[in-house]
Amino acid sequence: MTAEQASEAQEPTRHSQPDSSHPEKRMARGMEDVVHLFLTHTPGDVMISPAAGEVPSGREPAVPSHPIVTVACPAASLGKEEIIQLLNANTAALESGLRAIDRAVPCDPSRTIDLLAVDGLSQLVVIALEAAPDDGMLLRAISHYDWIVGHVPILRKLYQGQVINFSSPPRIVLVAPEFSRPLTCAAHRIQSPRIGCYRYRAIAVPSGTAVLFEEA
C-alpha cells in the first residue's frame, strides 16, 4: 500500500448531508392543499380545488385531485304546507324555547290557525304563515288572536296536558318570504298583541333544502 493509498484509507468517508440551518418540513402528500381549502373558507365563498392534472405552483398534486365545489344557491320555492310541517317539528328555529303544540286549529267554520305554540315563558303564540307576501295575513292573525282570547275555557280543556300561562295575552308571529313596509310598520306600532315578523329563505344544499329564518 503506498503512502497515498494509506492516506485515503485513513480519511473518513464523506456523505452529502442536507443543510440543517433551514429545515424544510412538509405535510403528508396532499395535506397542505386540504388545510388551505379549509382555512380559507368563509361563508359565501365558492371554492374549487385544483382539477385533475393541474398542479399549483410549488405544490405537489393533491390525492385524490378531483374538483371540490362549495356553493349555496336559491332553492325552488316551498309551499305553505311544507313550511308549516317544517316549523311544526322545528319551531325553535324562530325563537329559542318556542314549541308547537297544535296545527290547523279550527277557530270557526271557515278559518284555522296555522300553528299554535308556547314560548319559553309558557305564553301562547299564534303563528300565521304564507308562502308569498300577503298583507292580509296580519288581519287574519289578529282575528285568530281575538278568537283565542274569547275561548280560554275551551283551550284550557283542549290543552290541559300543556303548561300554559293563560293569564298572559297570546303573542302573534308572522312568517313569510317577504313583508311589505306598511305591514312591518303596522306590526311594530301595535302595542297589543305583541307581533313578530320572520322572513324565510330556502337554500339548496347537497342533502336537500335548508330554510333560513330572520326577524324582519
Which residue ranges form the domains of the chain, and what is each CATH number?
A: 25-71 (no CATH), 80-215 (3.40.1350.10)
Least reliable range by pLDDT among 47-56, 89-98, 104-113, 157-166: 47-56
Give alpha helix (H) positions in 90-135: none
Cell 385533475 locates to: 52
Most trustworthy range by pLDDT among 8-12, 13-17, 203-207: 203-207
Q: What percent of the chain has pLDDT over 70?
A: 64
Beta strands 195-205 and 208-215: pairing type? antiparallel
**What confidence tier does 76 reach under pLDDT thresholds 50, 70, 90?**
low
- What's the 3-state SS for 80-126? HHHHHHHHHHCHHHCCCCCEEEEEEEEEECCEEEEEEEECCCCCEEE
What pLDDT is stored for residue 73 in this prediction?
Answer: 58
Q: Say how far apart CA 128 and CA 116 lie, in whole Å.
A: 9
Q: Which residue has the higher pLDDT, 16 or 139?
A: 139
**What confidence tier does 47 reach under pLDDT thresholds 50, 70, 90?**
very low
Query: What does the mean pLDDT of the chain come to?
Result: 75
Q: Which residue has the higher pLDDT, 61 or 119?
A: 119
